[in-house]
Chain A
Amino acid sequence: MWKDSWWLAKKELSFQFPGILLTLLATIIIAFFTVPQLDALVREMYSNETLYWNPFLLDLIFLGVTPSFSALFVWGPYLSLRTIKEDPFGKRMALYRSLPISMDVLIRSRILSMLVIFIIMSSAFYTIIFLMLPDSFFYNVEASQFLRFALTWFGYALVLGSVNTYIEFGTNGRVLYIFPLLFLIVIVLVRVACSNIWNMGVVEASILLVSRYSNIIVIATIILGVLGCVTISRMLKKRLLTRDFI
Protein backbone atom coordinates (compact mmCIF):
# COMPACT_ATOMS: atom_id res chain seq x y z
CA MET A 1 0.00 0.00 0.00
CA TRP A 2 2.80 2.41 0.89
CA LYS A 3 4.54 1.42 -2.34
CA ASP A 4 1.53 2.45 -4.42
CA SER A 5 1.07 5.63 -2.37
CA TRP A 6 4.68 6.58 -2.95
CA TRP A 7 4.39 5.74 -6.65
CA LEU A 8 1.37 8.01 -6.99
CA ALA A 9 3.00 10.82 -5.00
CA LYS A 10 6.17 10.55 -7.09
CA LYS A 11 4.27 10.57 -10.38
CA GLU A 12 2.24 13.57 -9.34
CA LEU A 13 5.34 15.44 -8.22
CA SER A 14 7.03 14.69 -11.53
CA PHE A 15 3.97 16.06 -13.39
CA GLN A 16 4.29 19.24 -11.34
CA PHE A 17 8.03 19.64 -11.63
CA PRO A 18 7.90 23.17 -13.13
CA GLY A 19 5.59 24.17 -10.26
CA ILE A 20 8.06 22.80 -7.72
CA LEU A 21 10.87 24.83 -9.30
CA LEU A 22 8.82 28.03 -9.38
CA THR A 23 7.65 27.60 -5.79
CA LEU A 24 11.22 26.84 -4.71
CA LEU A 25 12.38 30.03 -6.39
CA ALA A 26 9.65 32.03 -4.64
CA THR A 27 10.59 30.41 -1.31
CA ILE A 28 14.24 31.37 -1.78
CA ILE A 29 13.23 34.98 -2.52
CA ILE A 30 11.06 35.03 0.63
CA ALA A 31 14.02 33.64 2.58
CA PHE A 32 16.30 36.40 1.22
CA PHE A 33 13.68 38.90 2.27
CA THR A 34 13.41 37.38 5.76
CA VAL A 35 17.15 37.44 6.56
CA PRO A 36 17.57 41.21 7.23
CA GLN A 37 14.34 41.28 9.23
CA LEU A 38 15.40 38.38 11.45
CA ASP A 39 18.90 39.76 11.87
CA ALA A 40 17.51 43.15 12.86
CA LEU A 41 15.17 41.53 15.40
CA VAL A 42 17.98 39.63 17.08
CA ARG A 43 20.29 42.66 17.11
CA GLU A 44 17.57 44.71 18.73
CA MET A 45 16.81 41.94 21.24
CA TYR A 46 20.38 41.24 22.32
CA SER A 47 22.44 44.31 21.37
CA ASN A 48 19.87 47.00 22.14
CA GLU A 49 20.49 48.51 18.74
CA THR A 50 17.64 50.41 17.16
CA LEU A 51 17.24 49.39 13.56
CA TYR A 52 14.69 49.91 10.87
CA TRP A 53 12.72 46.71 10.44
CA ASN A 54 9.13 45.62 10.39
CA PRO A 55 8.14 43.20 13.18
CA PHE A 56 4.67 42.83 11.70
CA LEU A 57 6.11 41.71 8.35
CA LEU A 58 8.44 39.22 10.01
CA ASP A 59 5.56 37.72 12.00
CA LEU A 60 3.45 37.60 8.90
CA ILE A 61 6.14 35.62 7.06
CA PHE A 62 6.48 33.02 9.82
CA LEU A 63 2.83 32.86 10.86
CA GLY A 64 1.26 33.18 7.44
CA VAL A 65 3.74 32.19 4.75
CA THR A 66 5.59 29.20 6.21
CA PRO A 67 2.41 27.03 6.33
CA SER A 68 1.98 27.63 2.60
CA PHE A 69 5.24 25.74 1.98
CA SER A 70 3.07 22.62 1.95
CA ALA A 71 1.50 23.74 -1.33
CA LEU A 72 2.85 24.71 -4.74
CA PHE A 73 1.65 28.24 -4.25
CA VAL A 74 3.38 29.57 -7.39
CA TRP A 75 1.73 27.08 -9.72
CA GLY A 76 -1.33 26.92 -11.99
CA PRO A 77 -4.25 26.34 -9.62
CA TYR A 78 -3.05 28.98 -7.15
CA LEU A 79 -2.39 31.61 -9.79
CA SER A 80 -5.41 31.28 -12.03
CA LEU A 81 -8.90 32.56 -11.31
CA ARG A 82 -10.18 29.68 -13.42
CA THR A 83 -9.50 27.50 -10.37
CA ILE A 84 -12.67 28.89 -8.79
CA LYS A 85 -14.75 27.45 -11.60
CA GLU A 86 -12.71 24.49 -12.77
CA ASP A 87 -11.53 23.06 -9.45
CA PRO A 88 -8.40 21.34 -10.84
CA PHE A 89 -7.65 19.47 -7.60
CA GLY A 90 -11.21 18.12 -7.58
CA LYS A 91 -10.77 17.01 -11.20
CA ARG A 92 -7.57 15.19 -10.33
CA MET A 93 -9.25 13.43 -7.44
CA ALA A 94 -12.21 12.50 -9.68
CA LEU A 95 -9.79 10.71 -12.02
CA TYR A 96 -8.15 8.90 -9.10
CA ARG A 97 -11.56 7.86 -7.77
CA SER A 98 -12.48 6.41 -11.16
CA LEU A 99 -9.39 4.16 -11.10
CA PRO A 100 -8.86 1.05 -8.96
CA ILE A 101 -7.03 2.93 -6.22
CA SER A 102 -7.95 2.29 -2.61
CA MET A 103 -8.88 5.22 -0.42
CA ASP A 104 -5.98 4.51 1.92
CA VAL A 105 -3.50 4.68 -0.97
CA LEU A 106 -5.05 7.96 -2.10
CA ILE A 107 -4.92 9.55 1.35
CA ARG A 108 -1.36 8.42 2.02
CA SER A 109 -0.23 9.69 -1.36
CA ARG A 110 -1.78 13.10 -0.56
CA ILE A 111 0.10 13.26 2.73
CA LEU A 112 3.36 12.02 1.18
CA SER A 113 3.10 14.50 -1.65
CA MET A 114 2.42 17.32 0.79
CA LEU A 115 5.29 16.28 3.04
CA VAL A 116 7.79 16.12 0.17
CA ILE A 117 6.84 19.62 -1.01
CA PHE A 118 6.80 20.92 2.56
CA ILE A 119 10.19 19.47 3.42
CA ILE A 120 11.78 20.77 0.19
CA MET A 121 10.41 24.31 0.63
CA SER A 122 10.99 24.52 4.40
CA SER A 123 14.52 23.13 4.10
CA ALA A 124 15.31 25.65 1.36
CA PHE A 125 13.80 28.48 3.40
CA TYR A 126 15.70 27.79 6.63
CA THR A 127 18.93 26.78 4.86
CA ILE A 128 19.01 30.03 2.89
CA ILE A 129 18.30 32.02 6.06
CA PHE A 130 21.01 30.10 7.92
CA LEU A 131 23.56 30.63 5.17
CA MET A 132 22.70 34.28 4.59
CA LEU A 133 22.58 35.46 8.19
CA PRO A 134 25.72 37.40 9.17
CA ASP A 135 28.15 35.95 11.68
CA SER A 136 27.09 38.63 14.16
CA PHE A 137 23.67 36.94 14.35
CA PHE A 138 25.27 33.76 15.72
CA TYR A 139 27.07 35.68 18.49
CA ASN A 140 23.61 36.08 20.04
CA VAL A 141 21.83 33.00 18.76
CA GLU A 142 23.80 29.78 18.60
CA ALA A 143 23.47 27.53 15.56
CA SER A 144 21.77 24.84 17.68
CA GLN A 145 19.34 27.43 18.97
CA PHE A 146 18.62 28.51 15.41
CA LEU A 147 17.99 24.86 14.51
CA ARG A 148 15.51 24.58 17.39
CA PHE A 149 13.89 27.83 16.29
CA ALA A 150 13.55 26.51 12.73
CA LEU A 151 12.17 23.14 13.89
CA THR A 152 9.62 24.87 16.12
CA TRP A 153 8.31 26.88 13.18
CA PHE A 154 8.54 23.77 11.02
CA GLY A 155 6.16 21.99 13.41
CA TYR A 156 3.79 24.96 13.48
CA ALA A 157 3.78 25.21 9.69
CA LEU A 158 3.18 21.47 9.38
CA VAL A 159 0.03 21.68 11.53
CA LEU A 160 -1.48 24.41 9.37
CA GLY A 161 0.14 23.26 6.13
CA SER A 162 -1.53 19.86 6.37
CA VAL A 163 -4.86 21.72 6.27
CA ASN A 164 -3.92 22.74 2.70
CA THR A 165 -4.21 19.10 1.65
CA TYR A 166 -7.78 19.02 2.92
CA ILE A 167 -8.61 22.35 1.27
CA GLU A 168 -7.17 21.22 -2.07
CA PHE A 169 -8.83 17.82 -2.31
CA GLY A 170 -11.70 17.95 0.17
CA THR A 171 -13.26 21.23 -0.92
CA ASN A 172 -13.78 23.06 -4.20
CA GLY A 173 -12.00 25.77 -6.17
CA ARG A 174 -13.94 28.56 -4.49
CA VAL A 175 -12.86 27.50 -1.01
CA LEU A 176 -9.28 27.19 -2.27
CA TYR A 177 -9.40 30.89 -3.07
CA ILE A 178 -11.35 32.07 -0.02
CA PHE A 179 -9.37 30.07 2.54
CA PRO A 180 -6.05 31.99 2.21
CA LEU A 181 -7.91 35.29 2.61
CA LEU A 182 -9.66 34.08 5.76
CA PHE A 183 -6.40 32.62 7.01
CA LEU A 184 -4.67 35.97 6.48
CA ILE A 185 -7.37 37.78 8.48
CA VAL A 186 -7.02 35.27 11.32
CA ILE A 187 -3.22 35.62 11.27
CA VAL A 188 -3.44 39.41 11.46
CA LEU A 189 -5.86 39.16 14.40
CA VAL A 190 -3.61 36.64 16.16
CA ARG A 191 -0.59 38.89 15.57
CA VAL A 192 -2.40 41.94 16.98
CA ALA A 193 -3.62 39.97 20.00
CA CYS A 194 -0.14 38.53 20.72
CA SER A 195 1.63 41.89 20.49
CA ASN A 196 -0.97 43.40 22.85
CA ILE A 197 -0.68 40.57 25.37
CA TRP A 198 3.09 40.04 25.31
CA ASN A 199 4.10 43.46 24.08
CA MET A 200 6.35 41.79 21.52
CA GLY A 201 6.10 40.10 18.14
CA VAL A 202 5.41 36.38 17.73
CA VAL A 203 8.82 35.59 16.20
CA GLU A 204 10.54 37.44 19.03
CA ALA A 205 8.45 35.47 21.53
CA SER A 206 9.35 32.21 19.78
CA ILE A 207 13.11 32.98 20.05
CA LEU A 208 12.71 33.59 23.77
CA LEU A 209 10.58 30.45 24.20
CA VAL A 210 13.14 28.29 22.39
CA SER A 211 15.99 29.69 24.48
CA ARG A 212 14.10 29.16 27.75
CA TYR A 213 12.41 25.78 27.15
CA SER A 214 15.03 24.35 24.83
CA ASN A 215 13.89 21.06 23.28
CA ILE A 216 10.45 20.83 24.87
CA ILE A 217 8.92 23.43 22.61
CA VAL A 218 10.52 21.79 19.55
CA ILE A 219 9.24 18.33 20.42
CA ALA A 220 5.80 19.72 21.24
CA THR A 221 5.39 21.51 17.90
CA ILE A 222 6.75 18.56 15.89
CA ILE A 223 4.31 16.22 17.68
CA LEU A 224 1.53 18.69 16.95
CA GLY A 225 2.62 18.73 13.30
CA VAL A 226 2.44 14.94 13.08
CA LEU A 227 -0.91 14.88 14.87
CA GLY A 228 -2.12 17.54 12.43
CA CYS A 229 -1.21 15.29 9.49
CA VAL A 230 -2.93 12.27 11.05
CA THR A 231 -6.07 14.26 11.84
CA ILE A 232 -6.23 15.82 8.40
CA SER A 233 -5.75 12.46 6.68
CA ARG A 234 -8.68 11.04 8.68
CA MET A 235 -10.84 14.06 7.91
CA LEU A 236 -9.93 13.89 4.23
CA LYS A 237 -10.76 10.20 4.02
CA LYS A 238 -14.17 10.83 5.55
CA ARG A 239 -14.75 13.72 3.19
CA LEU A 240 -13.68 11.89 0.03
CA LEU A 241 -16.00 9.00 0.80
CA THR A 242 -18.95 11.38 0.71
CA ARG A 243 -17.78 14.01 -1.77
CA ASP A 244 -19.30 14.46 -5.21
CA PHE A 245 -17.00 15.05 -8.15
CA ILE A 246 -19.28 16.92 -10.50
Chain B
Amino acid sequence: MNPVIKVNSVEKEYKHFHLGPIDFEVEKGTVVAVVGANGSGKSTLFKTLMGLAQPDNGYVQLFGLEEQKQVVDVKNRIGFAGSGLYHAFSQLTVNKLAEFVSHWYTTLEKDYYEHLLNRYEINGKEKFANCSLGTQKKVEFVLAMAHRPQLLLLDEPSANVDMLSQRRMREDLKSFMEQEENSIVISTYIQDEVKQMCDYICILDDGKIKGFFEKDEIRHLWARLWISSLPDQLKNDPRIWKVEEHPLQVITNQLPDIEEELLKCQVDIIRIKRLELDDIMEYMFIFNKKTTNTSGVLLKGDDCNHKNKVKQN
Protein backbone atom coordinates (compact mmCIF):
# COMPACT_ATOMS: atom_id res chain seq x y z
CA MET B 1 0.00 0.00 0.00
CA ASN B 2 1.29 3.47 -0.89
CA PRO B 3 2.05 5.64 2.11
CA VAL B 4 0.19 8.95 2.41
CA ILE B 5 3.51 10.71 2.85
CA LYS B 6 6.88 9.51 1.69
CA VAL B 7 9.86 11.69 2.44
CA ASN B 8 13.02 10.33 0.87
CA SER B 9 16.46 11.70 1.80
CA VAL B 10 15.17 15.26 1.80
CA GLU B 11 17.77 17.93 2.47
CA LYS B 12 17.49 21.67 2.45
CA GLU B 13 20.35 24.07 3.00
CA TYR B 14 19.93 27.60 4.31
CA LYS B 15 22.52 30.13 5.32
CA HIS B 16 22.39 29.23 9.01
CA PHE B 17 20.38 26.03 8.98
CA HIS B 18 20.47 22.61 7.39
CA LEU B 19 17.39 20.39 7.25
CA GLY B 20 17.92 16.69 6.79
CA PRO B 21 18.63 14.27 5.43
CA ILE B 22 15.12 13.28 6.40
CA ASP B 23 13.41 10.00 5.64
CA PHE B 24 10.04 8.95 6.86
CA GLU B 25 6.76 7.52 5.73
CA VAL B 26 3.28 8.00 7.09
CA GLU B 27 0.59 5.51 6.24
CA LYS B 28 -3.06 6.31 6.22
CA GLY B 29 -5.04 6.14 9.40
CA THR B 30 -2.21 7.41 11.57
CA VAL B 31 -1.52 10.60 13.48
CA VAL B 32 2.09 11.73 13.71
CA ALA B 33 3.21 14.48 16.06
CA VAL B 34 6.29 16.40 15.03
CA VAL B 35 7.90 17.83 18.13
CA GLY B 36 11.02 19.86 18.57
CA ALA B 37 12.38 23.08 19.98
CA ASN B 38 12.05 26.43 18.22
CA GLY B 39 14.21 26.46 15.11
CA SER B 40 14.45 22.67 14.96
CA GLY B 41 13.03 22.65 11.43
CA LYS B 42 9.38 21.76 12.00
CA SER B 43 7.95 24.58 9.88
CA THR B 44 10.53 24.00 7.16
CA LEU B 45 9.52 20.35 7.10
CA PHE B 46 5.85 21.31 6.72
CA LYS B 47 6.67 23.78 3.96
CA THR B 48 8.67 21.11 2.18
CA LEU B 49 5.71 18.73 2.43
CA MET B 50 3.46 21.45 0.99
CA GLY B 51 5.84 22.25 -1.86
CA LEU B 52 6.46 25.74 -0.49
CA ALA B 53 10.15 24.95 -0.01
CA GLN B 54 11.95 22.89 -2.61
CA PRO B 55 14.39 20.28 -1.32
CA ASP B 56 18.00 20.49 -2.52
CA ASN B 57 18.16 16.70 -2.45
CA GLY B 58 15.63 13.92 -2.17
CA TYR B 59 11.93 14.02 -2.86
CA VAL B 60 8.51 14.15 -1.26
CA GLN B 61 5.55 12.09 -2.38
CA LEU B 62 2.02 12.64 -1.14
CA PHE B 63 -0.58 9.95 -1.86
CA GLY B 64 2.04 8.35 -4.09
CA LEU B 65 2.05 11.42 -6.33
CA GLU B 66 4.65 14.11 -6.87
CA GLU B 67 3.33 17.42 -5.62
CA GLN B 68 4.88 19.45 -8.44
CA LYS B 69 3.43 17.28 -11.20
CA GLN B 70 -0.06 16.66 -9.82
CA VAL B 71 -0.54 19.73 -7.69
CA VAL B 72 -4.34 20.00 -8.07
CA ASP B 73 -5.00 16.36 -7.24
CA VAL B 74 -2.59 16.38 -4.29
CA LYS B 75 -3.61 19.70 -2.75
CA ASN B 76 -7.30 18.92 -3.06
CA ARG B 77 -6.74 16.11 -0.58
CA ILE B 78 -4.71 18.16 1.90
CA GLY B 79 -5.77 20.60 4.57
CA PHE B 80 -2.90 22.81 5.63
CA ALA B 81 -2.82 25.19 8.56
CA GLY B 82 0.27 27.13 9.48
CA SER B 83 2.85 29.63 8.28
CA GLY B 84 0.35 32.51 8.41
CA LEU B 85 -0.40 32.13 4.71
CA TYR B 86 -3.66 34.08 4.91
CA HIS B 87 -1.82 37.25 5.88
CA ALA B 88 -1.36 37.73 2.14
CA PHE B 89 -5.00 38.81 2.01
CA SER B 90 -5.44 40.06 5.54
CA GLN B 91 -7.55 42.99 4.31
CA LEU B 92 -10.37 40.55 3.50
CA THR B 93 -13.05 39.41 5.88
CA VAL B 94 -12.97 35.80 7.02
CA ASN B 95 -15.97 35.00 4.80
CA LYS B 96 -14.37 36.63 1.73
CA LEU B 97 -11.19 34.70 2.43
CA ALA B 98 -13.20 31.48 2.67
CA GLU B 99 -15.00 32.32 -0.57
CA PHE B 100 -11.65 32.82 -2.29
CA VAL B 101 -10.20 29.58 -0.92
CA SER B 102 -13.34 27.52 -1.51
CA HIS B 103 -13.31 28.22 -5.26
CA TRP B 104 -10.32 25.90 -5.61
CA TYR B 105 -11.66 22.93 -3.68
CA THR B 106 -14.12 20.57 -5.25
CA THR B 107 -15.32 19.22 -1.92
CA LEU B 108 -15.84 22.29 0.26
CA GLU B 109 -19.22 22.30 1.95
CA LYS B 110 -20.61 25.70 2.88
CA ASP B 111 -22.77 24.26 5.67
CA TYR B 112 -19.82 22.52 7.25
CA TYR B 113 -17.73 25.70 6.99
CA GLU B 114 -20.47 27.69 8.73
CA HIS B 115 -20.84 25.00 11.37
CA LEU B 116 -17.11 25.26 12.10
CA LEU B 117 -17.27 29.07 12.20
CA ASN B 118 -20.02 28.89 14.81
CA ARG B 119 -18.28 26.15 16.74
CA TYR B 120 -15.11 28.21 17.07
CA GLU B 121 -17.03 31.44 17.63
CA ILE B 122 -15.47 33.20 14.66
CA ASN B 123 -17.14 36.28 13.23
CA GLY B 124 -17.09 35.71 9.48
CA LYS B 125 -17.63 39.40 8.82
CA GLU B 126 -14.50 40.45 10.67
CA LYS B 127 -11.41 41.36 8.69
CA PHE B 128 -8.70 38.72 9.02
CA ALA B 129 -6.17 41.43 9.92
CA ASN B 130 -8.37 42.54 12.83
CA CYS B 131 -8.72 39.04 14.26
CA SER B 132 -6.63 38.16 17.31
CA LEU B 133 -3.70 35.77 16.84
CA GLY B 134 -5.75 32.96 18.32
CA THR B 135 -8.71 33.65 16.04
CA GLN B 136 -6.41 33.79 13.01
CA LYS B 137 -5.15 30.34 14.01
CA LYS B 138 -8.73 29.13 14.32
CA VAL B 139 -9.56 30.51 10.87
CA GLU B 140 -6.59 28.64 9.42
CA PHE B 141 -7.80 25.47 11.13
CA VAL B 142 -11.38 25.90 9.91
CA LEU B 143 -10.24 26.50 6.33
CA ALA B 144 -7.98 23.45 6.51
CA MET B 145 -10.88 21.29 7.68
CA ALA B 146 -13.76 22.74 5.65
CA HIS B 147 -13.10 20.85 2.41
CA ARG B 148 -12.91 17.54 4.25
CA PRO B 149 -9.36 16.59 3.27
CA GLN B 150 -7.79 13.16 3.66
CA LEU B 151 -4.56 14.50 5.10
CA LEU B 152 -4.19 17.32 7.57
CA LEU B 153 -0.84 19.06 7.86
CA LEU B 154 -1.09 21.25 10.93
CA ASP B 155 1.81 23.41 12.00
CA GLU B 156 1.08 24.47 15.58
CA PRO B 157 -2.67 24.81 14.97
CA SER B 158 -3.54 25.58 18.58
CA ALA B 159 -0.82 28.15 19.38
CA ASN B 160 -2.45 31.19 21.05
CA VAL B 161 -5.84 29.49 20.90
CA ASP B 162 -8.08 29.55 23.99
CA MET B 163 -8.52 26.39 26.06
CA LEU B 164 -12.11 25.73 24.98
CA SER B 165 -11.21 25.97 21.29
CA GLN B 166 -8.15 23.79 21.84
CA ARG B 167 -10.42 21.14 23.30
CA ARG B 168 -12.83 21.48 20.38
CA MET B 169 -9.94 21.17 17.96
CA ARG B 170 -8.89 17.93 19.61
CA GLU B 171 -12.48 16.66 19.41
CA ASP B 172 -12.72 17.59 15.74
CA LEU B 173 -9.42 15.95 14.96
CA LYS B 174 -10.55 12.81 16.74
CA SER B 175 -13.75 12.66 14.70
CA PHE B 176 -11.68 13.43 11.59
CA MET B 177 -9.65 10.31 12.36
CA GLU B 178 -12.78 8.18 12.55
CA GLN B 179 -12.55 7.99 8.77
CA GLU B 180 -10.06 5.21 8.11
CA GLU B 181 -8.64 6.97 5.08
CA ASN B 182 -7.61 10.05 7.01
CA SER B 183 -4.22 10.95 8.44
CA ILE B 184 -2.72 13.85 10.35
CA VAL B 185 0.77 15.25 10.75
CA ILE B 186 0.76 17.85 13.48
CA SER B 187 3.47 19.92 15.12
CA THR B 188 2.65 21.00 18.61
CA TYR B 189 4.07 21.99 21.97
CA ILE B 190 0.93 20.92 23.78
CA GLN B 191 1.48 17.60 25.53
CA ASP B 192 -2.22 16.81 25.80
CA GLU B 193 -2.53 16.91 22.02
CA VAL B 194 0.34 14.45 21.68
CA LYS B 195 -0.97 12.21 24.43
CA GLN B 196 -4.60 12.17 23.34
CA MET B 197 -4.34 12.05 19.59
CA CYS B 198 -1.03 10.83 18.26
CA ASP B 199 0.04 7.34 17.34
CA TYR B 200 3.62 8.27 16.56
CA ILE B 201 6.04 10.94 17.62
CA CYS B 202 8.75 12.36 15.42
CA ILE B 203 11.40 14.30 17.27
CA LEU B 204 13.19 16.94 15.26
CA ASP B 205 16.31 18.59 16.53
CA ASP B 206 18.62 20.87 14.61
CA GLY B 207 17.02 19.88 11.31
CA LYS B 208 17.37 16.15 11.86
CA ILE B 209 15.02 13.42 13.01
CA LYS B 210 16.33 12.33 16.37
CA GLY B 211 13.63 9.79 16.92
CA PHE B 212 10.51 8.37 15.36
CA PHE B 213 8.60 6.09 17.64
CA GLU B 214 5.28 4.74 18.65
CA LYS B 215 3.84 6.79 21.49
CA ASP B 216 2.71 3.90 23.68
CA GLU B 217 5.92 1.99 23.15
CA ILE B 218 8.09 4.83 24.32
CA ARG B 219 6.04 5.23 27.46
CA HIS B 220 6.50 1.53 28.07
CA LEU B 221 10.28 1.76 27.67
CA TRP B 222 11.12 4.97 29.54
CA ALA B 223 11.09 4.87 33.33
CA ARG B 224 12.68 6.11 36.53
CA LEU B 225 13.83 3.31 38.84
CA TRP B 226 14.65 3.64 42.53
CA ILE B 227 17.29 1.00 43.23
CA SER B 228 19.43 -0.24 46.12
CA SER B 229 22.72 -0.08 44.17
CA LEU B 230 24.03 0.36 40.65
CA PRO B 231 26.20 -2.49 39.35
CA ASP B 232 29.50 -1.42 37.74
CA GLN B 233 28.61 -2.85 34.32
CA LEU B 234 25.61 -0.54 34.12
CA LYS B 235 27.41 2.66 35.15
CA ASN B 236 28.37 3.61 31.59
CA ASP B 237 25.62 1.72 29.87
CA PRO B 238 24.06 3.75 27.03
CA ARG B 239 20.60 2.61 28.14
CA ILE B 240 21.02 4.48 31.41
CA TRP B 241 20.35 8.13 30.62
CA LYS B 242 20.76 9.59 34.06
CA VAL B 243 21.84 8.53 37.54
CA GLU B 244 20.71 10.45 40.61
CA GLU B 245 21.86 9.96 44.21
CA HIS B 246 19.96 10.28 47.53
CA PRO B 247 17.99 8.14 46.97
CA LEU B 248 19.69 6.25 44.15
CA GLN B 249 17.67 6.48 40.95
CA VAL B 250 18.28 5.79 37.28
CA ILE B 251 16.44 6.87 34.19
CA THR B 252 16.36 4.42 31.34
CA ASN B 253 14.89 4.15 27.87
CA GLN B 254 15.05 0.32 27.92
CA LEU B 255 13.09 -0.62 31.01
CA PRO B 256 12.54 -4.38 30.39
CA ASP B 257 16.22 -5.03 29.63
CA ILE B 258 17.54 -2.95 32.51
CA GLU B 259 15.01 -4.46 34.90
CA GLU B 260 16.14 -7.94 33.92
CA GLU B 261 19.82 -7.08 34.34
CA LEU B 262 19.28 -5.49 37.71
CA LEU B 263 17.45 -8.57 38.92
CA LYS B 264 20.26 -10.77 37.64
CA CYS B 265 22.69 -8.66 39.66
CA GLN B 266 20.42 -9.08 42.66
CA VAL B 267 19.73 -5.37 42.91
CA ASP B 268 16.54 -4.41 44.67
CA ILE B 269 14.18 -2.33 42.60
CA ILE B 270 12.33 -0.26 45.16
CA ARG B 271 10.02 1.56 42.80
CA ILE B 272 9.39 2.04 39.08
CA LYS B 273 7.73 5.12 37.66
CA ARG B 274 6.91 5.47 33.97
CA LEU B 275 7.92 8.82 32.59
CA GLU B 276 5.46 11.26 31.11
CA LEU B 277 5.95 12.19 27.47
CA ASP B 278 7.05 15.71 28.26
CA ASP B 279 9.71 14.34 30.65
CA ILE B 280 10.94 11.92 27.99
CA MET B 281 11.20 14.67 25.43
CA GLU B 282 12.92 16.94 27.88
CA TYR B 283 15.56 14.29 28.51
CA MET B 284 16.08 13.85 24.81
CA PHE B 285 16.52 17.56 24.19
CA ILE B 286 18.53 18.35 27.32
CA PHE B 287 20.96 15.53 26.88
CA ASN B 288 20.94 15.94 23.12
CA LYS B 289 21.95 12.35 22.76
CA LYS B 290 22.07 10.68 19.45
CA THR B 291 19.04 8.54 19.04
CA THR B 292 17.67 6.35 16.37
CA ASN B 293 14.62 4.42 15.49
CA THR B 294 14.87 0.72 15.20
CA SER B 295 11.45 -0.82 14.94
CA GLY B 296 9.96 2.20 16.58
CA VAL B 297 12.35 2.12 19.55
CA LEU B 298 14.62 4.92 20.59
CA LEU B 299 18.17 3.94 21.28
CA LYS B 300 20.98 6.05 22.56
CA GLY B 301 24.35 6.39 20.86
CA ASP B 302 23.36 5.30 17.34
CA ASP B 303 23.26 7.20 14.13
CA CYS B 304 19.78 8.39 13.24
CA ASN B 305 19.68 8.50 9.45
CA HIS B 306 17.59 5.41 9.05
CA LYS B 307 14.25 5.14 7.41
CA ASN B 308 11.48 5.73 9.85
CA LYS B 309 8.39 3.94 8.84
CA VAL B 310 5.06 4.27 10.52
CA LYS B 311 3.13 1.08 10.31
CA GLN B 312 -0.59 1.21 10.09
CA ASN B 313 -2.31 0.28 13.30
Of the four ranges (under 10, 10 to 19, 20 to 34, 35 or more), the interface on chain A belongs to 20 to 34
Task: Tell me if B311 is interfacial: C-beta within 8 Å of chain A.
Answer: no
A95 adjacent to B88 (CB under 8 Å): yes
Which residues of chain B from 46 to 66 have a CB within 8 Å of any chain A CB?
47, 50-54
Task: Tell me if B101 is interfacial: C-beta within 8 Å of chain A.
Answer: yes
A100 adjacent to B76 (CB under 8 Å): yes
Which residues of chain A from 91 to 105 have a CB within 8 Å of any chain B CB?
91-92, 94-95, 97-103
Task: Tell me if A189 is interfacial: C-beta within 8 Å of chain B.
Answer: no
A98 adjacent to B80 (CB under 8 Å): yes
Shortest Cβ distance from A16 into B: residue: B91
Q: In the assembled complex, which residues on chain B have CB atoms less than 8 Å from the CB atom of A99?
A: 75, 101, 104-105
Task: Tell me if A243 is interfacial: C-beta within 8 Å of chain B.
Answer: yes
Chain A binding surface SS class: helix
- How far, in Å, is B163 (CB) from chain A's closest CB? 28
Which residues of chain A from 178 to 219 have a CB within 8 Å of any chain B CB?
none
Task: Tell me if B89 is interfacial: C-beta within 8 Å of chain A.
Answer: yes
A245 adjacent to B88 (CB under 8 Å): no
Task: Tell me if A246 is interfacial: C-beta within 8 Å of chain B.
Answer: yes
CB 8 Å contact bits of B71-112 with A (1 = contact, 0 = none): 111111000100101111101100000001101110000000
- How far, in Å, is A177 (CB) from chain B's closest CB? 19
B71 adjacent to A101 (CB under 8 Å): yes
Q: How far is the CA of A11 from the CA of B87 in the complex (A)?
A: 16
CB 8 Å contact bits of B281-311 with A (1 = contact, 0 = none): 0000000000000000000000000000000
Shortest Cβ distance from B144 into A: residue: A98
B54 adjacent to A243 (CB under 8 Å): yes
A103 adjacent to B71 (CB under 8 Å): yes
Known A100-B72, A100-B75, A242-B54: A94·B83 in contact at CB below 8 Å: yes
B71 adjacent to A94 (CB under 8 Å): no
Of the candidates A11, A91, A241, which one forms a contact with B88 in the assembled complex, judged by CB atoms under 8 Å apart?
A91
- How far, in Å, is B67 (CB) from chain A's closest CB? 10
Q: How far is the CA of A11 from the CA of B98 in the complex (A)?
A: 13
Shortest Cβ distance from A105 into B: residue: B72
Q: How far is the CA of A242 from the CA of B52 in the complex (A)?
A: 9
Q: How far is the CA of A95 from the CA of B82 in the complex (A)?
A: 11
Residues of chain B having any CB pair with chain A under 8 Å: 44, 47, 50-54, 68, 71-76, 80, 83, 85-89, 91-92, 100-101, 103-105
Residues of chain A having any CB pair with chain B under 8 Å: 7, 11, 15, 88, 91-92, 94-95, 97-103, 241-246
